Amino acid sequence: MSTEHGALLGPADIRELAAALGVRPTKQRGQNFVIDANTVRRIVRTAEVGPDDVVVEVGPGLGSLTLALLETAAHVTAVEIDDVLAGALPATIEARLPQKAGSFALVHSDAMLVRELPGPAPTALVANLPYNVAVPVLLHMLDTFPTIERTLVMVQAEVADRLAAAPGSKVYGVPSVKANWYADVKRAGSIGRNVFWPAPNVDSGLVSLVRRAEPVKTSASKREVFAVVDAAFAQRRKTLRAALSGWAGSAAAAEAALVAAGVSPQARGEALTVEEFARIAEHKEAGA
């Protein structure tokens, strides 16, 4: 096993571990293992993980990023759905960072079903998220664990662009607005394909989410606001008067809610901030 990067895993280590476990990365689970120690160190640095942080990681795989996080953080809890990978990870930590084994916890579960975590409350979420479930997992974790102040996720570049898009952008949509409900979101870098095994056929991007100091000021619930967002983008080419007619009960009721919220009925969803969607939600007529 290589020692150039100390406890961290290099390409040979990853392939060796995978072969020993009979693991072949699957497209179905969106698995691409990071094989570059410099990349995981960069992710930890960009995430600004410090010695007081309690980090939750989703989809740790063979443990590349987990080890880098453990080198710096006070505690790491990894959530892994795969039976073989979940079974092997504690032994990898024990073998490569024995002094930190007591600061590591494993939750063998689908991240979408996780409602609580062992140990101290998480302060940060850092993960190489499987491409196919990145957005729902990210939103679920932010919603379920309000103590997560900072998040850094590696996702497909296109998803990174969508999450970090501003109103008016062509790629601004449901993920952009919903992520913005919880956090200030920005692109935090790009990751090439050659740091993964197997190399994906798309580039990856880092997205930083810093939880809002103050939640969006609204009397509407998150569920009510998200219902407006979903309706607005379900038919994104239509004006909001038309797109929200089903949500409001009629086009006239949609127009009334929009006017009351100070939003043009002729506007489209991609022009609106999360605060504007919240105002529209507040003006839905009772009984509609």
Tens digit of pLDDT for each residue in 36-68? 999 999 999 999 999 999 999 999 999 999 999
Q: Tell me the average pLDDT of the chain.
A: 94
pLDDT, position 175: 97
Per-residue tokens: 128: 């190489």
Average pLDDT for 82-89: 96
Average pLDDT for 29-34: 75
Three-state secondary structure of the chain = CCCCCCCCCCHHHHHHHHHHHCCCCCCCCCCCEECCHHHHHHHHHHCCCCCCCEEEEECCCCCHHHHHHHHHCCEEEEEECCHHHHHHHHHHHHHHCHHHHHHEEEEECCHHHCCCCCCCCCCEEEEECCHHHHHHHHHHHHHHCCCCCEEEEEEEHHHHHHHHCCCCCCCCCHHHHHHHHHEEEEEEEEECHHHEECCCCCCEEEEEEEECCCCCCCCCCHHHHHHHHHHHHHCCCCCHHHHCHHHHCCHHHHHHHHHHCCCCCCCCHHHCCHHHHHHHHHCCCCCC
pLDDT, position 95: 97
**pLDDT tens-digit series, residues 140-186:** 999 999 999 999 999 999 999 999 999 999 999 999 999 999 999 99
- 91 close to 116: Cβ distance less than 8 angstroms: no
pLDDT at 288 over 70: no
Q: Which domains does the chain have, with CATH numbers?
A: 11-211 (3.40.50.150), 222-283 (1.10.8.100)
Per-residue tokens: 97: 């960072």
Query: What residues does 105 pair with on adjacent strands?
Result: 77
- Report CA Rg, the chain: 21
With a pLDDT cut of 70, the percent of the chain lying above it is 95
Residues 6+ apart with CB under 8 A from 231: 243, 244, 246, 247
Query: What residues does 125 pair with on adjacent strands?
Result: 56, 151
Instruction: Give CB contacts under 8 A, 24+ apart, made by 256-262.
Output: 256/283, 256/285, 257/283, 257/284, 257/285, 258/283
Average pLDDT for 118-129: 96
User: Which of the four pLDDT bands, split at 50, 70 and 90, describes residue 130?
Assistant: confident
Query: Which amino acids are annotated as binding site for S-adenosyl-L-methionine, given as ranges?
Result: 32, 34, 59, 80, 110, 128
pLDDT, position 2: 41
pLDDT at 26 over 70: no
pTM score, two decimals?
A: 0.94
pLDDT at 132 over 80: yes
pLDDT, position 29: 58
Residue written as tokens 């919220």? 261
pLDDT at 5 over 80: no
**pLDDT tens-digit series, residues 220-252:** 999 999 999 999 999 889 999 999 999 999 999
User: Which of the four pLDDT bands, split at 50, 70 and 90, describes residue 286?
Assistant: low
Query: Which amino acids are annotated as binding site, given as ranges?
Result: 32, 34, 59, 80, 110, 128
